[in-house]
Structure 1
Amino acid sequence: MEQDIIINYTEKDNQAEEGKNGWVTDLARFLDIMLTQVLGKKPNIILKSEGSSLSVAELKNTGILISILSPYFINSGQCLEAIEEFSKSSNFDSAKRLFKVLKTDVAYEDQPSQLKDGLAYELFDLDYDSGDSVIFDDYFGPAAENVYWMKMVDLAYDVHESLLLLQEAEKQEGVKPLYKRETIFLAETGQDLNVQRNVIRRELQRHGFRVLPDHMLPRDVESAEKVITEELNESIMSVHLIGNSYGDIPAGGDRSIVDMENKLAAQKVHDNPSDRKLQRLIWINPQQESSNDQQKTFIENIQRDLSTLEAAEIFQIPLEDFKNTLREELFDKNAGKDNLEKAINIDDNKLNVYLIYDKVDEEEAIIISKELIKAGINVIRTEFDQNVLALRKLHNEKLKLLDVGIIFKGKVNDNWVRMKLLDLLKAPGLGRRKPILGKAVIGGIGVEMHKEDYVDFDVEVLSMDKKEALSVNLDKFIKGLNKSI
């Protein structure tokens, strides 16, 4: 390609005040600086307004076409014709090579058809009182930092990604590729998590992953479901960030895109139980005070509905801790694995019971631990004195090695207990070599326990409050297992 990028715009969108650059000129300058950093070389960026000559031959020899959308652009025949010609002349997937930057708000239905499905880089702010677009001319003010620069970084990384794909396609034309990049499905989020989602997306791309969706999803529910399902089928992992905003509901649907993507990911695993290709990580914001009733109901359903949690891990921890977990899962999956197994006190001559409890319930849990030890059982206790990543690794390793899992419910709530029960359900997918012999939930002193609350989990429900001694209850449970002790 003779030029990496052509920026397609109208002269009116680049009119400059005295002593200042035009808006498009500044954008091209900033993009040049950012791309030089990520590409490791200076890109060849050409600016072409509707008054400039732009031949079909030039378009054929251009990698990326970036169009600056505005009301002026939509009414410019020459600018629209450039998009049309570029789409016709592209040898490779033009959808990955067409970018739209919105200088001001342009309604979806007014955008050129070739650009509608592309990601929108909205480099403006909105005045919520008037509804008008606010164009940035102070690039270094606080508002620009939160909107303009974050979107510019996104644009730079996505253009970089497309240029790399284009280079690979040119090299491999007619040649079967030896290596295919792994794909991560990074689900859409509500407005409150857009920035954080983009940060995660960029990091995944930097580590060589292909990230989907890499375009705007269709606005009607039927088409959106079809595209999401296809992209989940290409992915090895789906990552879902659940914040305080429920998200947009597509036309003809009754649930948001965020909700729908989680449901379809679960359905893929459920419909193909022998194919465990798709791993699922779900992060739920632990601070839900500002969520509306609809969002709170959605989160409660995630935590309670077993059908939406197949092959999934739920994290209700600070987002930075979740990001570290995601890094560990993708980049350092086997680090320290041998040392972990040695750190867990497994006794091959005894029944190994993993006693799972929260720090707030440690005092009562120790009573249960002592009763189990008196009965000749090896107790694998919960640990707390390490960082989140190390504790998660230990927890998953214990799930692989245990014979029996016992969850203690004292001051913790039902959702915490259900999440731990789900951990026991997912244990076979962690590489267990033998079935779990038994599972139980034990209620602490003063805690009412009802077996019907856990009917979905095939678990024994015991209590420290019953008239029979705790040791008798435990003895009955242990002796009912399919293992001699």
Structure 2
Amino acid sequence: MNFHYDVFISYPHISNIDDSNNYNGWVAKFHVGLKRRLTDLLGREAKVWRDNKLQAGAPFRKDIYDKLSKSKVFLCVISPAYMHSSWCLDELREFLRLANLEGNLIIGEHSRVVPVVKTYTSKQQRPFELKDFIYKEFYKIDETIGVPLELGQESGERGFEEYKIKLGEIAWSIFKTVTLIKDESLEDIQKTIFLADTTYDIRDEYDRIKNELLARGFTVLPDKMLPKDHVDAYKSEVESCLKRSFLSIHLLGKSYGMILDGATESTAVLQNFWAADRSKIDTSFKRLVWVSQNLEDIDERQKAFLEFLQSDASAQDGAEILIRPFEGFKTRILQVMSKPVPGLDDGLVRIYIMYDKPDFDYFPHVARYLYHKGYEVKQLSQTDEALQHHKSHLMYCDATLILYGKTHLGWVDERLYDSTIRVKGWGRTSEILCKAIFITNPETKEKQNLFIKSAKLLAPCYDEIPSQALESSLDEFLSDLEKSLSINQKITN
């Protein structure tokens, strides 16, 4: 089994309705709380995924199928809306199909499916597929009026203490399941590379690449002899290796190579096709294909394959084809492995301001001040590509500033996770130089008791952001940023 996510949350988007880009809805708050507790139990960041895209009328996407197959636990948020969502029911049925196919729906005494009931539904209303599973209900019948009421998610709300207990019980149950699953991804898929079979004429280059990768601490697959009696057994082993890798490297010379029983193409050609198939399923999987410049006396079949490789789009899926000196190819491999963030050499210092919709009124005041101070100001796009823009800003910005006014602390926590942890997974290798939280109206006990070390807490600025308080708070932020820029410049030089 090769997993990437600890938990996949399946839910109807009507169960997460709010006025803040789906960051303050019931499911969003549940997500944040579950992830925090599970992270504490696992001793590492828990990988909890849910789909933020609107689903109405959309087909069952390939990327959802991919995430379901890579998730250890399937958590479904049951409500009447869940039963009316063909999308949610498709997710449930597909996860059950995959788990039953692998024979691992139950791990020890623990189920990989966790049904959570947000809104009252009778047992007859609930999915038939879940009739044998244990539900955790997040509502309670009020004895005085006989009406089912959802448990509060905030301190001081009705049923909040019971909500916390149930959330803790679910996190513990998932923790037990996750730790029992034998996970091939523990070898760290981001440190595993598939080095494709090659031919005798470029064996020296193959050995040099392999030794370099091993010396840098990467796992190189295959790490044992592949069965070469028949193409079927060979294919099974190669596809297993590809599934465990984030990158494949293919070295192509003038020789066509070995053809196995049952095959019509060489092993090098087949591995390229199978790696291309892997790229179609998982777009994060990359291929580097090097073509030797020394192609004198090239095999005619190899010549035809190289021409096909450079002209056919399907053969190039996920691939970067490089015809250059070998040392240049080695350099390119190192660049891909380290996932460097391209530099922006325009001399501008970029500050990414993150704010939720309720706090938009504060944004112009803060942005205008920073702009007049000479900084490039970035903000979250409100278009369909918002997530992509968000990632891009975090990849390139020098500093982040989170506005914490009317929004919920869970939203702030999520943005802080983005800028400290998730951004590394998106490919950023350097730390963001300065991260800060700008606190403004309304004044709450939650803000008074905010204890965060991963970002600088600026002096609170209440009373509709008077200019003097605004400038004082932001100057504190800019002072720290300039110090970090100065230190970073010295290190770079």
Report the TM range for the smaller structure's normalisation: 0.3 to 0.5
Q: Kindly indicate whether structure 1 or structure 2 has the higher relative contact order, using CA contacts under 8 Å at least 6 residues apart.
A: 2
TM-score by length of 1: 0.37
TM-score by length of 2: 0.36
Pair member with larger Rg: 1
